[in-house]
Amino acid sequence: MKKVGAKMEYADERMADLMRLYHEYLRECKHISLADVYEKIVNLPSRRFWVSSTHALKVVSAILRGEDILLSMRRPKAEMYIEIFRRVMQLKEREPSTSIAKLCEQVVQQPAPKIYLSPGSAKIMIYQYRRDKRRNG
């Protein structure tokens, strides 16, 4: 669905949210274990689902058609789309005349229960962000 190497539409905003979670968690810690930091922050609530409504619609539509699209995804991403699908279906029950596209737009902008990254991905992203920030001032 996504091209290899393509930059996600909300990459900068997601990175800002990840860094917010990282700094908030570090401020609350009395003892910092970096191994635990990444595990904890990826499970903290996020401001939104970090996916475009267009891409969410493609995945939700594929699930509705009965395609096994989630099997090819990594676990955090599959979990995210399962949660988006669940919320879209809940809204559809309450608003049957609203299109799936509109419901996807609403859902992806809602607060998410977590940021849906693996601890390893979060570690790499934070390392790269901090490295780039040091280089570029």
Which among 91, 98, 118 has a CA at the least distance from the CA of 18?
118
**pLDDT value of position 115:** 95
**pLDDT value of position 9:** 78
Write down how long the chain is: 137
Cα angle value 76/88/11 (rounded, 5°):
45
CA gap 88, 57 in Å, rounded: 10
- Both tokens of residue 102? 């509109």
Give the domain ranges of the chain: 9-47+111-137, 49-110
**pLDDT value of position 7:** 65
pTM of this structure: 0.84
CA gap 40, 48 in Å, rounded: 18
Mean pLDDT by groups of 10 residues along the chain of 137 residues: 62 91 88 86 95 97 97 96 99 97 98 96 93 87
Cα 105 vs. chain centroid, distance in angstroms?
Answer: 14
**pLDDT value of position 3:** 56
DSSP state of 103: H
**pLDDT value of position 133:** 87
